[in-house]
Structure 1
């Protein structure tokens, strides 16, 4: 459902802009934040049971986070591909991890995702809400066959 995900991203981005504009106009109150960012996957090849698989340019890791202060109410990350990559890309033995680091960039928590042995063209992972012990950053990391292929991070500040 890449089309639905793209529509949700567009609405989320527009909603963020509207919320930011309202906050700048009204001022004060609790800091509510959400962010969506994308990082490209470089072309890479991997071995799947003796068969070489190549992922062409055109795939992206998108990470979306919503919350207030150190409280994360929603977080998800997924991979989407466009153009020829959308037709020819499939990821096998993939997982998405979420990591959390303090302001000194020390990782203090990792939520390791399950390794999915099935092949999928649009991997996606969601995690439950949580309260972080420190400000810093939250990252999504995409792995294929145990190798990190992309990371996308958001800073969480006061």
Structure 2
């Protein structure tokens, strides 16, 4: 600012005096060029500041969106975990029910196996009794045959004894 003021005063003095100095002309041209460059740089600075503010606003928006997305992701994950936990609980309950039912069926199966074993023992006992009964029946048949033979022999003797008396 001071330079501009000094240059302006010098320029005014020179204009009033009417003296044309080549160095002064060059300084004026340089001064004009510097003013133009300064204005251009100020404009670039303002554009850069504006761009920076836009970028900062965009970064803030992206951060907000990112935070919202993270929150939604966390909520989604928590919801999925809750559902998975509920599913796991249901599966565990079903598994427990199935295990209990299996234990009941295993106990029933063991009881039936015991019954089958007892029935097999009874069958073996009955087979033994049947074999004994068959042997007894054979003996009785044999005794019956002998008794029948004895009866026949006695009849035959009785007929022979009755024939001489007739």
Give the TM-score normalised by structure 2: 0.16
Q: Which has the higher contact order (CA 8 A, sep 6+)?
A: 1
Q: Would you tell me which structure has more helix in proportion to its own residues?
A: 2
Which structure has the larger Rg?
2
Structure with more of its chain in strand, by fraction: 1
TM-score normalised over the length of structure 1: 0.17
